Amino acid sequence: MNLKSVHDFAIKTIMEAGIRIRDSFQEELLIETKSNVNDFVTNIDRETESFFVKKIREFDPAHKILGEEGMGDRIITLDGPLWIIDPIDGTMNFIKQHRHFMITIGFFVDGVGQLGYIYDVMRDELLYAIRGEGAYLGKVPLKKLEPLSIEEAIIGINSSWIIPNQKVNHEKMVDLIRTVRGTRSYGSAAMEIAFVSSGKLDAYLSMRLSPWDIGGGLIIAKEVGAEITNLQGKPFNLLGEDTFIIANPSIHKVLLDQYIELR
């Protein structure tokens, strides 16, 4: 497979999708809820995924597609070439703020990440990685992450971690918040993964993410030395939902061993 031609195709298609999304603000948005009253999908999420599926089918019909909105294939194995697509990550931000949402895409072959993309549509900022060739923000190569202490860290975390919950001991999370330099919550997993990969955050935790939230980020993170696992320290399950942590490698183990006590 000529990975360079797949990469060129991916960048061109992401840029076209970005223009379509920005143009969509001229039209009325159709909003529906999915699993609960705060879980939204819009016609633009669906239209953007359809756009990617159509373009990928034209590019190479042998490539499989796992997309959040279900317009691709039913995926039960990671064998062969596979695109993992979230057409809009941060739909609530998209609807409410008209910013802070990402297109994120990963391209895998036999379960191994080859190409990863996180595109901030409103800032027109593309973060991408090619396996073994590093990660780039636009044309600028990203540096490997520098070590730091937990006291110096800024952590991406939302309020559900510090109220009593069924997943983790929330008191230990309160300890963590007292220990670190600061916390942030951006409402787009892909954006938070991009921020950890580029050193703007030092870790990001989630109690539940899906493969499309992290597919692109997984490949970018690896190129800069960020560590991604589930909260048990095992590889994230790309065929289902899983818990999630991405961290600067110097604090990944500290977070898992000292602060995240799973119930």
Binding site for ligand IPD (CB under 6 A): 86, 89-91, 187-189, 206, 209, 213
Closest CA to 214 of 85, 51, 124, 69: 85
Dist. CA 212–CA 48, nearest whole Å = 14
For residues 48 and 188, which CB has a smaller minimum distance to ligand IPD in the complex? Answer: 188
> Per rule CB under 5 A, is residue 49 in the interface with Ca ion?
no
Chosen from Ca ion, ligand IPD, none, partner binding at 90 (C-beta under 5 to 8 Å by type): ligand IPD
Beta carbon of residue 192, minimum distance to ligand IPD (angstroms, whole number)? 7
- Minimum gap (Å) between residue 232 Cβ and ligand IPD: 18
- Separation CA 254–CA 4 (nearest Å): 38
Task: Give the nearer residue to ligand IPD in terms of CB position, either 89 or 223.
Answer: 89
Q: Which of 18, 52, 63, 86 binds Ca ion (CB under 5 A)?
A: 86
CB closer to Ca ion out of 70 and 249: 70
Residue 189 corresponds to which tokens in the numbers above? 């997993």
> Does 223 engage in binding with Ca ion (CB under 5 A)?
no
Q: Quote the least distance from Cβ 2 to ligand IPD, whole Å.
A: 31
Q: Which of 89, 192, 223, 242 binds Ca ion (CB under 5 A)?
A: 89
The C-alpha angle with vertex 132 and arms to 118 and 5, in degrees rounded to 5, equals 65
Residue 48 CB, nearest distance to ligand IPD (Å)? 11
Contact between 202 and Ca ion by CB under 5 A: the answer reads no
Rounded CA separation 187/206 (Å): 11
66 in Cβ contact with 85 (< 8 Å): yes
Q: To the nearest whole angstrom, how small is the minimum distance from the Cβ of residue 213 to ligand IPD?
A: 5
d(CA 186, CA 197): 15
Q: Is the dihedral angle over the CA atoms 133, 121, 186, 244 positive or is it negative?
A: negative
Nearest CA to 18 out of 118, 96, 111, 108 is that of 118
Please, which residue, 161 or 259, has the CB nearer to ligand IPD?
Answer: 161
Residue 68 Cβ, how far from Ca ion at the closest point, in Å? 5
Q: In the chain, which ranges are continuous DSSP H helix?
A: 3-24, 43-59, 91-97, 170-179, 189-197, 211-224, 249-254
68 binds Ca ion (CB under 5 A): yes
In the list ligand IPD, Ca ion, none, the entry touching 242 (Cβ below 5 to 8 angstroms by class) is none
Q: Which does 187 bind (CB under 5 to 8 A by kind): Ca ion, ligand IPD, none?
A: ligand IPD
Residue 209 binding: pick among ligand IPD, Ca ion, none (C-beta 5-8 Å cut-off by kind)? ligand IPD
- In angstroms, what CA-CA distances link 86 with 14, 104, 171, 228, 256? 11, 5, 33, 18, 27
Nearest approach in angstroms of CB 209 to Ca ion is 8
Nearest of 217, 6, 244, 249 to residue 105 by alpha carbon: 217
Binding site for Ca ion (CB under 5 A): 68, 86, 88-89, 213
